[in-house]
Amino acid sequence: MSDSTIAFIGGGNMAHSLVGGMIAGGRAADSIWVADPFVDQLDTHRHRHAVHVTQENTEAAAHADVIVLAVKPQVLREAASQIADIVNDRQPLVLSIAAGLREPDICRWLGGNAAVVRAMPNTPALIRCGATVLYANDAVSGEQKTLAEEIMGAVGLTLWVDEEAHMDAVTATSGSGPAYFFHMMECMQAAAEELALPPEVARKLVLQTALGAARMASEGEDDPATLRQNVTSPGGTTAAALEVLKQEDLAGIMSKALTAARDRSRSLSDEFGKL
């Protein structure tokens, strides 16, 4: 990784994951600052990662080539306003992982001329198996885009979109997506128990099946449709189950679910931008 200095404004779970991932990837702990109002949170960062810590956002930002906004959306405007003068003076990259907040609002709160990358990670980033989509405004240089990729790539896959409007669909797909799979696993386990499987057997079978299917889809050359066809013998047990899912319109249900999540993402962005 590059030798730039990175400051996290907010030291919660995602910051812990990103800091740990970067250090595991070779970044020097001495190049990282974490600012958070809670002393216990800072003590954890200092003891676990040996990074610089402070309760003052401005102190962390004053050292930074990259500022990662890792606070809750409701408090980002206040945090951005606190460091606006420093951002205008130093011109660092500002990387926001605050869900739902649009780049124009973030840029405005920072003074109007900041190089801003908006990132939408998901919760598997906490185990370094995440998927993050990034969007950069016109002020972001190629070198800064590479820096943003290095930071978010420490916890999983990174992809770019050219239009910020796509971020609402990203939120609906990968941001909220883990919950869809968790619910599917939850329902499968309950159904298996109804068929008289012991709960622990049902749980382990469902989890391992989900893991194996995901690995086959991500590591192999065939797409999910082909994989589904390959394991579906005509007139067999899999075909019988899939016919029920077809009759119940699983595809339509998923389309409605993602559309609802996208629409809610849009409305939340409107609300957060007015805070």
- pLDDT value of residue 3: 81
Cα gap 249→237, rounded to integer Å: 19
What residues contact residue 39 under an 8 Å CB cut-off, 6+ apart? 55
Domains 6-167 and 175-268 share a fold: no
pLDDT tens, the chain, 275 aa long? 568 999 999 999 999 999 999 999 999 999 999 999 999 999 999 999 999 999 999 999 999 999 999 999 999 999 999 999 999 999 999 999 998 899 999 999 999 889 999 999 999 999 999 999 999 999 999 999 999 999 999 999 999 999 999 999 999 999 999 999 999 999 999 999 999 999 999 999 999 999 999 999 999 999 999 999 999 999 999 999 999 999 999 999 999 999 999 999 999 999 988 77
Task: Look up tokens 């899939």; give the residue.
Answer: 242
Cα gap 232→18, rounded to integer Å: 40
Cα gap 90→104, rounded to integer Å: 20
Q: What's the CATH code, domain 6-167?
A: 3.40.50.720
Domain assignments of the chain as residue spans, ordered by start:
6-167, 175-268
Q: Does domain 175-268 have CATH number 1.20.1440.130?
A: no
Task: Look up tokens 């086959």; give the residue.
Answer: 216
Task: Look up tokens 């939408």; give the residue.
Answer: 120
For 207-244, give the secondary structure using H, E and C. Answer: HHHHHHHHHHHHHCCCCHHHHHHHCCCCCCHHHHHHHH
pTM for this entry? 0.92
Cα gap 54→70, rounded to integer Å: 15
